[in-house]
RNA sequence: GGGCCAGUAGCUCAGCGGUAGAGCAGGAGACUCUUAAUCUCUUGGUCGUGGGUUCGAAUCCCUCCUGGCUCACCA
């Protein structure tokens, strides 16, 4: 418990918001209107971390995740795609799937792709689809309540958000019986059983209604509540007591505030509390799913180990914005920090960083972290063909790796491979040059390169090679002020083969290159120019 | 225009009322194997600005500046 860290960890702070001795429900949701950027995982991972923390604090809690697949297609970026224009305004679950082998319809396709990531990340909520809730009539009671209080709700929209809906407006969207659109209909005149509606051509900018007028019962899936009212209906239906969210929704005068007011006035209940999380930025700019490398959640999760994805989301307080650009040194930094968190956990499980490490694990009850190799070291190893990571790691540990450690190593190897290929800056990469580079060498350096030629093909152990290189430098007289071999000696090797003055340990490097090439190169550069 | 977040060592950030911290980078040294290897030590900041509260503020309050995001239609 008390460990000297009295400043409360953010997740522990949230525990105080929940009343003990009664059931609790944490909720999160996603509208499956397209590919989800990596930033879309921040909410689910935060919610899951809180869910775990609540449970760990002996609260009776469920985690509910809803898929808002009855919402209308209104995404501008989608409208420009081939074949999509005709579907604008239809419920997401009534639009054809881009790939039927993945999902049965548009919503199912995108939801499936996204949700498929959850289990691997250790996120295990109950999933509910809005289409099922509506069609089964599970929300009919709430729909009726909303319709009977339409005037009150209209006033709240006006007061809280300054949104003026026409008189007689009802906060439901009927699915047009003629064209199937749900985003274009205006409903009026609830008589306790049915509503009148009109599918208006110019009701919204992003879709064109067909002009049909009709009357039907807005239950059993014939209609859906508008966003704010649907939110309340879900809180009511599931008994939600905690819900965090992005700041796009939780801003003053924003959507959540409208829903909160409606819940208070119409349902006569307090809305659930919840953190407002900040967004990701990508290179200082807002992350866009459509463009930008590595921005899609599916892609990052395929490459990053799950605990690293969780750690990325949890190490920064939810209320702070998170800069994430997979390119460059982002990943090595993240991995170093992750390792530090593991050390913190070993030192004190209840330290903030220790807690963050634990919440980052896929299992809520993880084993203690074991021996691991620093990420940048693994990345270097990969670029020296003669190094076998497993053997090298065992040498470094001084003992056999456990199964878990071996798995961790392999994951790091895969991650480093992807990083080198896609994101690493040039400084982190080296490559043996096929052709002799045009480099400046001193006469001593040239003598040195000539001197080590004899080692090639005769010394086969990398460690021994390293020693011999060292000795050769002494013999040639490449010494620094203290009589030790100077940096110039090794720089000559790096320049000769990599074209830059530094690189991986020279003994290992030389042995990993074809001996013929090494001899030729040494001959060529060993001569006076 | 409303809201949120940030501005602390070269870089990334932690600290959030009690004599300025970490990692990396930089510097020095050790290991009779240089390094992007290990270990030890170390340089470096008047904590964005101006006020206020306090015995005492990076830390609380107010002003302002800078940068970013977000809502002002729908979801």
DSSP string, A159-221: HHH---PPTT--SEEEPPTTT--SSSEEEE---SS-EEEEE-TTSSSS------EEEE---TT
Query: What is the CA A350 to C1' B57 distance in angstroms?
Result: 28
Structure tokens that stand for A459 in this block: 């010394």
Nearest nucleic acid nucleotide to A467, CA to C1' distance: B33
C-beta of residue A528 within 8 angstroms of C-beta of residue A446: yes
Residue A162 or A21, more confident: A21
Band the pLDDT of A448: cuts 50, 70, 90: confident
Nearest nucleic acid nucleotide to A336, CA to C1' distance: B23
| pTM across the whole model | 0.89
Query: What is the CA A333 to C1' B24 distance in angstroms?
Result: 8
Q: Where in chain A is the domain with CATH 1.10.10.770?
A: 303-428
Looking at the DSSP assignment, which residues form a beta bridge with residue A416?
A: none
Q: How far apart are CA A424 and CA A426, in angstroms?
A: 6
- In this prediction, residue A32 carries a pLDDT of 92
Query: What is the CA A486 to C1' B4 distance in angstroms?
Result: 55
Nearest nucleic acid nucleotide to A376, CA to C1' distance: B36
Separation of CA A212 from chain center: 43
pLDDT surpassing 70 at residue A224 = yes
Band the pLDDT of A529: cuts 50, 70, 90: low
Strands A322-323 and A280-282: parallel
- What is the assigned CATH class of domain A303-428? mainly alpha
- Among all protein residues, pick the one whose CA is nearest to the C1' atom of B75: A227
Query: What is the CA A104 to C1' B14 distance in angstroms?
Result: 47
For residues A16-41, average pLDDT: 92
Q: Which residues in A219-257 are b (16+ Cβ under 10 Å) and which e?
A: bebbbbbbbbbbbbbbbbbbebbbbbbbbebbeeebbbb
Q: Where in chain A is the domain with CATH 3.40.50.620?
A: 10-130+229-280
> pLDDT for A471-495, tens place per residue?
788 777 776 655 666 677 788 888 8
CATH number for the A10-130+229-280 domain, one of 3.90.1150.10, 2.40.10.480, 3.30.1950.10, 3.40.50.620?
A: 3.40.50.620
Which nucleotides of strand B lie within 7 A of protein CB?
Answer: 1-6, 12-17, 22-24, 30, 33-38, 67-75
- Among all protein residues, pick the one whose CA is nearest to the C1' atom of B37: A505
Q: How far apart are CA A273 and CA A369, in angstroms?
A: 34
| DSSP for residue A85 | G
3-state helix, strand, coil in chain A (%, to 5): 45, 10, 45
- Among all protein residues, pick the one whose CA is nearest to the C1' atom of B16: A7
This complex has an ipTM of: 0.87
Nearest nucleic acid nucleotide to A319, CA to C1' distance: B5
pLDDT surpassing 90 at residue A264 = yes
For residues A429-451, average pLDDT: 81
Query: What is the CA A430 to C1' B20 distance in angstroms?
Result: 40
Q: How many residues does the structure list for chain A?
A: 529
Coil, helix or strand for A419?
A: helix
Query: What is the CA A486 to C1' B36 distance in angstroms?
Result: 18
Q: Which residues in A265-284 are b (16+ Cβ under 10 Å) and which e?
A: ebbeeebbebbbbbebebee
Query: What is the CA A229 to C1' B74 distance in angstroms?
Result: 14
pLDDT surpassing 60 at residue A132 = yes
- Among all protein residues, pick the one whose CA is nearest to the C1' atom of B5: A320
Strands A24-30 and A61-67: parallel
Q: How far apart are CA A529 and CA A524, in angstroms?
A: 9
In Å, the largest CA–CA distance within chain A is 102
Listed residue (A72, A73, A35, A472) closest to A297, CA to CA = A35
Query: What is the CA A273 to C1' B13 distance in angstroms?
Result: 29
Q: How far is CA A170 from CA A139, A206, A360, A481, in A?
A: 16, 20, 44, 87
pLDDT surpassing 80 at residue A91 = yes
Please state which architecture CATH assigns to domain A443-526: Orthogonal Bundle (1.10)
> pLDDT for A165-179, tens place per residue?
889 999 999 999 999
- In this prediction, residue A482 carries a pLDDT of 56
pLDDT surpassing 80 at residue A504 = no
**Torsions phi, psi for A24 (to 5 deg):** -130, 150
Q: Where in chain A is the domain with CATH 1.10.10.350?
A: 443-526
């Amino acid at each position: 418990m008390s460990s000297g860290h009295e400043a409360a960890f953010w997740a522990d702070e949230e525990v105080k918001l929940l009343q003990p001795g009664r059931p609790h429900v944490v909720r999160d949701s996603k509208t499956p209107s397209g590919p989800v950027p990596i930033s879309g995982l921040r909410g689910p991972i935060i919610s899951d971390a809180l869910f775990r923390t609540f449970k760990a604090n002996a609260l009776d809690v469920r985690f509910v995740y809803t898929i808002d697949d009855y919402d209308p297609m209104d995404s501008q970026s989608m409208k420009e795609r081939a074949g999509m224009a005709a579907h604008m305004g239809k419920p997401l679950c009534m639009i054809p799937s881009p790939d039927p082998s993945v999902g049965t319809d548009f919503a199912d396709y995108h939801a499936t792709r996204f949700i498929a990531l959850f289990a691997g990340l250790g996120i295990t909520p109950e999933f509910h689809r809005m289409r099922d809730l509506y069609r089964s009539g599970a929300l009919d009671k709430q729909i009726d309540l909303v319709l009977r209080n339409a005037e009150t709700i209209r006033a709240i929209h006006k007061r809280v958000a300054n949104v003026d809906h026409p008189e007689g407006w009802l906060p439901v969207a009927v699915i047009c019986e003629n064209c199937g659109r749900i985003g274009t209909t205006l409903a009026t005149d609830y008589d306790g059983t049915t509503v009148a509606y009109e599918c208006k051509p110019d009701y919204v900018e992003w879709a064109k209604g067909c002009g049909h007028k009709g009357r039907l019962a807005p239950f059993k899936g014939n209609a859906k509540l508008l966003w704010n009212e649907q939110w309340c209906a879900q809180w009511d239906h599931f008994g939600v007591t905690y819900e965090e969210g992005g700041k796009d929704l939780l801003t003053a005068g924003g959507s959540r505030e409208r829903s909160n007011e409606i819940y208070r006035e119409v349902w006569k209940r307090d809305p659930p509390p919840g953190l407002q999380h900040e967004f990701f930025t990508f290179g200082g700019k807002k992350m866009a799913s459509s463009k930008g490398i590595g921005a899609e959640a599916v892609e990052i999760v395929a490459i990053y180990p799950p605990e690293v994805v969780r750690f990325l989301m949890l190490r920064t307080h939810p209320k702070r914005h998170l800069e994430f650009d997979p390119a460059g040194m982002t990943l090595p930094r993240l991995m170093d920090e992750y390792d530090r968190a593991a050390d913190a956990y070993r030192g004190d499980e209840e330290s903030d960083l220790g807690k963050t490490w634990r919440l980052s694990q896929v299992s809520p009850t993880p084993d203690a972290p074991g021996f691991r190799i620093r990420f940048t070291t693994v990345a270097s190893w990969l670029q020296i063909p003669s190094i076998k990571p497993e053997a090298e790691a065992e040498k470094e540990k001084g003992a056999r790796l456990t199964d878990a450690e071996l798995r961790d190593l392999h994951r790091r190897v895969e991650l480093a491979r992807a990083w080198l290929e896609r994101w690493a800056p040039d400084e982190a990469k080296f490559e043996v040059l096929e052709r002799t580079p045009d480099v400046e060498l001193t006469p001593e350096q040239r003598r040195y390169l000539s001197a080590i030629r004899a080692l090639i093909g005769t010394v086969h152990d990398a460690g021994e090679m390293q020693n011999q290189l060292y000795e050769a430098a002494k013999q040639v007289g490449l010494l620094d002020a203290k009589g030790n071999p100077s940096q110039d000696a090794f720089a000559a090797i790096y320049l000769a083969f990599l074209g830059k003055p530094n690189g991986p340990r020279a003994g290992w490097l030389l042995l990993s290159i074809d001996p013929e090439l090494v001899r030729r190169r040494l001959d060529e550069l060993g001569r006076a120019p």
